[in-house]
Amino acid sequence: MVVIRFIFDSVREMFRGPREYWMWLLALSLVVLFGAWRYSEQITEGLVVTGMSDQVSWGFYISNFAFLVGIAAAAVLLVIPAYIFDRKDVKDVVLVGEGMAVAAVTMAILFVIVDLGRPDRLWHMIPGIGRFHWPVSLLAWDVLVLSVYFLLNLAIPFYVLYSRYRGKEPNFRLYFPFVVIAMFWAISIHTVTAFLFSANPARPFWHTALLGPRFIASAFASGPALIIITLQIIRKLTSYHVSQTVIDLLALIMTTALQISLFFVGAELFTDFYNEGAHAASIHYLFFGLGGFSSLKAWIWFALALNLTALVILMIHPLRQRTVMLNIACVMTFIGIWIEKGMGLVIPGFVPTPLGEIFEYAPTSVELSVAAGIWAFGILVFTLVAKAVIAIEQGKLSCPPEEQRYTL
Amino acid sequence: MSNNTGSGNGGGKFDQARRNFLRGIGIGTAAAVAQPAWGGQTFQDTFADFFQKDYRRMSVDEIEAALERIERKAEARYDVEIDCQNTPPQPGVVYGYAINISRCKGYRDCVHACVKENNLGRDSQMQYIRVLEMDQGDFNLEHSDHYYEPETVPVEGKHYLPVQCMQCDDPPCVKACPVEATWMEPDGIVVVDYDWCIGCRYCMAACPYWARHFNWTVPEIPAEEMNTNTHYLGNRPRPRGVVEKCHFCIHRTRKGQQPACMEACPTGSRIFGNLLDPDSAIRYVLANKQVFRLKEDLGTEPKFWYFSD
Amino acid sequence: MNSVFLQCVVGVICLILLPAQAQETPDSQQPLRFEGYPGVPEFEVVPRKDELFFYPCGQCHEAMEPNPEIRTLNTMHDAEIEHGRGRIWCLSCHNLENRNYLNTLLKELVDFDEAHLVCGGCHANRHEDWYFGAHGKRVANWQGERTLYNCTHCHNPHSPAIKARAPKPAPPVRAGLKLEPGIKHERSAVWDAQEEHEEQ
Ligand code: SF4
Ligand code: SF4
């Protein structure tokens, strides 16, 4: 069967490459293994090895989760120009974007799983044999939308690549409906993730209608930042053609999204601080500290500084068009949003607690190691997928019709 | 929701298969039952534990079996013979609680009685009740002190506010749970099935009263301090990695006894009873005192009132 | 209602209540039994007499001349009565003629087991709350037989305010973490202003 040969060929392609490529895979695997080893510690000891407490019951894991869902959603920024506006240059790289979405969703799901107290009971979520509290629980929603998004981002590229592999053009009519679904789905995964937080009146810091839009805006800033850098790396390391127009387009989107994102942050700050009520305690803790505790203060100001500097760079055309400056802005945005939407969003929701207690959180080495392992795993997944995608897109990997006759 | 019927059917089939499988294992390992393995548990128990359904879908027999496993596990883990029961809710009873905050002196007797009664982990250091100390004239929880430790209480110029699970009538924690491991019983108590909870802690984020607590580690209880009168939905020994909370002493109150915190309160600040009984003390309080509830604006409809006189 | 309780009630009712001035033979008197407010659920009171150290008081007082003069006692009883801010003294509550009984302000005899009837003479609102369960403590259960602690179980009638005492230990934080000291608890600025004003 051609499908089996396709999969076989792709996998073989994934593990074919120069020595540096192998070293890269090896290095990533080592980090993954290290993370897995530290995770085993968490499995045997319990979540007591993390820095989380009853006071701050979610920490570094869920912070990364929230951020990564955004990265996954940002793939839509390539999907829309590619399939809806039919831009040839974007179409060339859209599969890379979807590969990134797959990797990001994988990481996001892994981050949720390592955060569970009882991962052995995951099957309780399976409808039928378990109890899936859908549509009431927002977490059930999130699991649902993430899994479907994951499947969509596997299925569409699979079909497109498979067609290429067989030397055919993919049937636009066949996959277009799925592309449209995937588009809306991308927005939905991040909206649902935002709603997961904003649905809680118990946590005034999250309980704002602005959280959904804020999530989308910051995702559309950090996502393109990552894509821009990745595309440049691909351009550098492979012979794959990445058009500069794609990067320009993404840079423009990113500029706008970052502007909107910062505007939203400003709106939050104004609303909370103009007439500072009890509901502003969390944001006060985040930006200025509370009751003598201020471990996030330096981070959030750092993030804000990064984002603002990046914005300035991006808004000045001559600067943005210089690759080096653009890259600096991308790195800044990525880190800035990672702090702001990760720890900067999740932790203050818990400080102070609903009973007004101030108790701080800091990730332990186990949490950091496990997180590093998951990131490495995501990068590994992306590397492998991208490797195969590029080979097929370049036509290096194919099974022309005349050969298909001989393949079962 | 179609989801529900679907899960019902699927559950049935799965059930049958599981029962058959278990029977097979049962025969196969009948000889091995006595041999402790798998961390003091038999393989059979471990297996049955893993595939145990959630409380509300277990048949009477399955609950019986689960209770026996719980007792065996406690014996293996803590070396105590406990009695784990499944007392059902009383018809026509919905519990309500009220605290007279002008009587509360901040002794924390309730807190520690609760720890003992409910087999709360002594090393994991969990407590269901928090007593907040606030300045008189101030009712801002963010100004409260949870860790007050003066020579004597009450301190002049301070007042005290005990907080625990409010058994909300519209509980956000129940809505949050992705696997329906927590729900409201017919007598109004919001319970957790510790064997079904996956430990995601979303309910902890959702609770506006900081009433939910997580077993970060295996709760350790000295054998001689173990309360052997337990309930499946209440104070039975809990596994690690799941959430728990105040359950109005379900093992006591369903048998007509007072919750341990009420019994322990030396000042008689706590008033507990059946909200559906017009002659109950709690109804008298609601009718005759100026009561309020914490964070009523959140729409959680707590069944826990405060008043002062 | 169990039979013990019935017997108590019958026994109490058998003691005939007489106006104070007509008291002659104590044993034939009927101490007050306030039947309370309409709708009070049935209850019994935890007996108190067997916990009293000096009871029956008549043991000594029978041999003594009753002295109705208001004065400070320098005997084995509490000299200071931290109750009523000087408006009451021993015989406001203890019966002059029959020391084995208390009495109300109207000099109605009250059994020591029914001390709440004395307290209720002044603290009528509390007393009403107590009947209905909103004040005081109920023994053991919330359902079924209702047994109430007497006022005097918790309040020393000679010094009824609940005394300050050490609290039980403060809550710990979860195993493996520690509480950072030095949380600065803010409070409403109004109170700071008030304090400053008082200092000036
Ligand atoms: S107080 Fe918290 S835990 Fe208790 S029922 Fe309400 S939301 Fe749930
Ligand atoms: S921690 Fe347990 S009870 Fe709470 S939401 Fe998650 S699965 Fe449900």
Strand partners of residue C29: C16
User: What does the alpha-carbon distance between residue A205 and residue A348 come to, in Å, rounded to a whole number?
Assistant: 7
pLDDT at C182: 61
> Does the pLDDT value for residue B3 go beyond 50?
no
> Does the pLDDT value for residue B23 go beyond 70?
no
pLDDT at B39: 54
The CATH number of B89-309 is 3.30.70.20
A54 touches chain C (CB under 8 A): yes
Beta-carbon separation of A132 and B54 below 8 A? no
H-helix segments, A15-59: 19-45
Kindly list the domain boundaries of chain C, sorted by start residue. 37-154
B240 neighbors B95 (Cβ within 8 angstroms): no
DSSP string, B34-68: TS-BTTTB-HHHHHHHHTPPPGGG--HHHHHHHHH
What is the mean predicted confidence (pLDDT) over B65-89? Answer: 94
Q: Rounded to 5, what percent of chain B is helix, strand, coil?
A: 35, 15, 50
User: What does the alpha-carbon distance between residue B20 and residue A359 come to, in Å, rounded to a whole number?
Assistant: 50
pLDDT at A329: 97
> Does the pLDDT value for residue A327 go beyond 90?
yes
Q: Ligand 2 centroid vs A118 CA: distance in angstroms?
A: 10
Kindly list the domain boundaries of chain A, sorted by start residue. 201-362
Q: Rounded mean pLDDT of chain B?
A: 88
User: What does the alpha-carbon distance between residue B80 and residue B69 come to, in Å, rounded to a whole number?
Assistant: 13
Kindly list the domain boundaries of chain B, sorted by start residue. 13-85, 89-309
Residue B159: which H helix or E strand, with range?
A: strand B158-163
B291 touches chain A (CB under 8 A): no
Beta-carbon separation of C182 and A292 below 8 A? yes
Return the closest-CA partner of residue A192 out of A149, A161, A234.
A149
Of B145, B263, B266, nearest to C140 by CB-CB distance is: B263
Of A124, A200, A355, nearest to B196 by CB-CB distance is: A124
Q: Which ligand is nearest to the CA of B180?
A: 2
User: What does the alpha-carbon distance between residue A37 and residue A29 come to, in Å, rounded to a whole number?
Assistant: 12
pLDDT at A223: 97
Q: Which ligand is nearest to the CA of B238?
A: 2
What is the mean predicted confidence (pLDDT) over A325-330? Answer: 97
The angle that helices A323-341 and A297-315 make with each other, rounded to 10 degrees, is: 150
User: What does the alpha-carbon distance between residue B79 and residue B61 come to, in Å, rounded to a whole number?
Assistant: 25
Per residue in B154-193, pLDDT tens? 999 999 999 999 999 999 999 999 999 999 999 999 999 9
Question: How far does the CA of residue B29 sit from the closest CA of chain A (Å)?
Answer: 23
Q: Ligand 1 centroid vs B172 CA: distance in angstroms?
A: 7
Beta-carbon separation of C186 and A358 below 8 A? no
List chain A residues with CB under 8 Å of C188.
Answer: none
Q: What φ, ψ does residue B162 adopt, rounded to 5°? A: -80, 135
B211 neighbors B165 (Cβ within 8 angstroms): yes
Burial of C141 per CB tally in 10 Å (0-12, 13-18, 19+) = middle
ipTM: 0.94
Of A45, A139, A353, nearest to B210 by CB-CB distance is: A353
- Sorted by sequence, the CB contacts under 8 Å of residue B110 that are 6+ apart come out as B129, B131, B162, B260, B261, B262, B264, B265, B270
- Sorted by sequence, the CB contacts under 8 Å of residue A31 that are 6+ apart come out as A372, A373, A375, A376
pLDDT at B12: 42
What is the mean predicted confidence (pLDDT) over A271-280? Answer: 88
B164, B173, B202, best to mutate for ligand 1 pocket (most atoms within 8 Å of CB): B173
Would you give the DSSP letter of residue C51?
G
Q: Ligand 2 centroid vs A387 CA: distance in angstroms?
A: 40
Return the closest-CA partner of residue B301 out of A132, A195, A201.
A201
Question: How far does the CA of residue B128 sit from the closest CA of chain A (Å)?
Answer: 11
Separation of first and last alpha carbons in chain A:
4
> Does the pLDDT value for residue B299 go beyond 60?
yes
- Predicted TM-score (pTM) of the model is 0.90
Strand partners of residue B270: B99
Question: How far does the CA of residue C52 sit from the closest CA of chain B (Å)?
Answer: 20
Return the closest-CA partner of residue C33 out of C98, C100, C106, C108.
C108
Of C176, C182, C184, nearest to A48 by CB-CB distance is: C176
Per residue in A160-182, pLDDT tens? 999 989 888 888 899 899 999 99
**3 state DSSP class of B84:** strand
Lowest mean pLDDT among B14-23, B182-191, B276-285, C90-99: B14-23
Q: What φ, ψ does residue C153 adopt, rounded to 5°? A: -70, -35
Q: How confident is the model at residue C77 (pLDDT cuts 50, 70, 90)?
A: confident
> Does the pLDDT value for residue B19 go beyond 60?
no
Residue % of chain C over a pLDDT of 90: 41
User: What does the alpha-carbon distance between residue A164 and residue C28 come to, in Å, rounded to a whole number?
Assistant: 112
B146 neighbors A357 (Cβ within 8 angstroms): yes
Token pair of A214 as six digits: 């804020």
Return the closest-CA partner of residue A349 out of A209, A208, A205, A207.
A205
List chain C residues with CB under 8 Å of B94.
Answer: none
**Ligand 2 atom at minimum distance from B212 CA:** 4
List chain B residues with CB under 8 Å of C142.
Answer: 253, 256-258, 262, 272-274, 280-281
Report the amino acid identity of residue C88. Answer: I
Question: How far does the CA of residue C121 sit from the closest CA of chain B (Å)?
Answer: 19
List the single residue in A with minimal CA-CA distance to B145: A357
